[in-house]
Amino acid sequence: MIQTEDIIGKVFAITATTVTYFNKLQLESTTSTTIAINPPIPDLQTYVNRFQELVPLAEQHASLSHITIAELKTKIYNKTAQQGHYTCTARITEIDELRTWFYVKCPKCGNKAYPEKDHFVCLDDDIEEEEAIFMYCLNAKITDNTDSIEAVFYNEALNDIVKISCRDMVIDLGNRNPKVFPNKITSIKEEPKLLHIAVKGNNNIAVNKAENPRTFQPATPDPKKRTLAQLPDSDKKAKH
- Residue range 21-63, pLDDT digits in tens: 777 788 888 888 888 888 888 777 777 766 665 555 444 445 5
**Phi, psi of 200, deg, nearest 5:** -80, 170
Find all residues with CB under 8 Å of 239, minimum gap 6, and list them.
228, 231
The model's pLDDT over 102-145, given as tens digits with 9 standing for 90+, comes to 999 888 777 888 888 777 888 777 777 788 899 999 999 999 99
C-alpha angle with apex 196: 89 to 33, nearest 5 degrees? 180
DSSP type of residue 99 = S
The structure's pTM equals 0.64
pLDDT tens string 157-210: 999 999 999 999 999 999 999 999 999 999 999 999 999 998 887 788 999 999
According to DSSP, residue 162 is labeled H
Return the bridge partners of 141, or none.
94, 150
**Please, are residues 109 and 82 in contact by the beta-carbon 8 Å criterion?**
no
Instruction: State the burial class of residue 77 (Cβ atoms within 10 Å of its Cβ: 0-12, 13-18, 19+).
Output: exposed
Structural domains in the chain?
Answer: 64-214 (2.40.50.140)
Which helix or strand (DSSP H or E) is residue 103 part of?
A: strand 102-105
Q: Are 71 and 90 in contact (CB under 8 A)?
A: no
